[in-house]
Amino acid sequence: MMNDNASIIVALCSHLCADSCLPLEPSEWTKLADKMIAQELRPKDIPELSDEDMKQYFGYSEEDIDRIKRLLDRSGSLTFELEKLSSMGIRIITRADKGYPKALKAKLKGSCPPLFYFAGDLSLLEQKTVGFVGSRTVGDEDTVFAENMVSKINQHGFGVVSGGAKGIDSISSAASLANGSFCIEYISDSFIRKIKKKEVITEIQDGKLLLMSMAKPDAGFNAGMAMQRNKYIYAQSEVTIVVKSDYNKGGTWGGATEALKKEYCPVLCRDHKKYPGNMGLIKLGAVPIGDSWDGNVDNISELMPDVGEQLSIFDE
């Protein structure tokens, strides 16, 4: 049974059963959570609040209050959806639960999502990982590079975090699993479809694969959602490797530049003169690596050109 605080977060923020109401977006939830903290309230107290309380504590309008009530009113029907997901082995974890990814909370603070749908062993989140990102369309050479890098970091005891999409994402995941290591995928769509694949199920059952999705499990592809989840990969991993990026466009570029700016984690980038995107990222501060990199993430500072500036990340 879900704890009372988690129940309320799910009722307010889940996009399931949301035909006739608008769930709180992560930023809206964060705002509300901050105000609750100020009032020493917990999520489970919300249903007990009067309209006046909500106006006073949260600065809500009549419309806002109505929205909150409608969201809470769907708890019953939402339960049935959650049971359906749970029968597939898809569960839900909220910021009020212990197993919620700590790295995300620490690095993303208010912008980490109120809840994730997940399948697999959450304790993988406690282990050290390297993120792998790159375009959906890749050549043989990129594949070889990615697989090579995955093997190296695996040898140092790191698992892979990826976005579970086509291209670099799935190549890296598959390589890590093939090496007997593990993989966390922050996916942004098609959870239910993915979980029907035999290989996926087997790896999850073996405790090697953890799927995390902020998007509701039956959601199809959505560019905005795909963009949003990039930061989870950077935040979850010790370092993230960009294998191939377009220049100044596309998800990989967007995610990497954001990570560099917000310093989610050190960004490593394949040093490839023919890839303008890669070169652009290196120019912006990504650490260039080549085939010869030894995969020792702990010594990454040695690679950094501007040591003083980059170190600040670790000093935080």
Interface residues with other proteins (CB under 8 A) are 1-4, 7-8, 10-11, 16-17, 19-20, 44, 47, 72-84, 86-90, 119-120, 195-198, 201-202, 204-207
Q: How far is the CB of 33 from other proteins (least distance, A)?
A: 17
Rounded distance between C-alpha atoms, residue 230 and residue 301, angstroms: 23
Q: How far is the CB of 250 from other proteins (least distance, A)?
A: 31
* DSSP per-residue letters across 132-156: EE--SS--HHHHHHHHHHHHHHHHT
Beta carbons within 8 Å of 238's beta carbon, 6+ residues apart: 128, 129, 130, 158, 265, 266, 297
Question: Which is nearer to other proteins, 204 or 243 (by Cβ)?
Answer: 204
Q: How far is the CB of 169 from other proteins (least distance, A)?
A: 19
Q: How far is the CB of 133 from other proteins (least distance, A)?
A: 25
Q: How far is the CB of 49 from other proteins (least distance, A)?
A: 13
Q: How far is the CB of 72 from other proteins (least distance, A)?
A: 6
How far is the CA of 88 from the CAs of 16, 50, 83, 119, 165, in angstroms? Answer: 16, 38, 9, 9, 21
Question: Which is nearer to other proteins, 68 or 282 (by Cβ)?
Answer: 68
Q: How far is the CB of 236 from other proteins (least distance, A)?
A: 20
Question: Which is nearer to other proteins, 86 or 127 (by Cβ)?
Answer: 86
Q: How far is the CB of 141 from other proteins (least distance, A)?
A: 32
Rounded distance between C-alpha atoms, residue 229 and residue 68, angstroms: 26
Do 5 and 58 contact (CB within 8 A), yes or no? Answer: no
Do 112 and 214 contact (CB within 8 A), yes or no? Answer: no
The number of angstroms, rounded, from the C-alpha of 96 to the middle of its chain's C-alpha atoms is 17
Rounded distance between C-alpha atoms, residue 262 and residue 25, angstroms: 21
Pairing mode, if any, of strands 209-213 and 115-119?
antiparallel
Beta carbons within 8 Å of 188's beta carbon, 6+ residues apart: 163, 165, 213, 214, 215, 221, 222, 225, 226, 228, 229
- The helix/strand/coil state of 69 is helix
Question: Which is nearer to other proteins, 142 or 203 (by Cβ)?
Answer: 203
Question: Which is nearer to other proteins, 16 or 153 (by Cβ)?
Answer: 16
- The helix/strand/coil state of 21 is coil
Question: Which is nearer to other proteins, 82 or 184 (by Cβ)?
Answer: 82
Question: Which is nearer to other proteins, 218 or 258 (by Cβ)?
Answer: 218
Question: Which is nearer to other proteins, 73 or 126 (by Cβ)?
Answer: 73
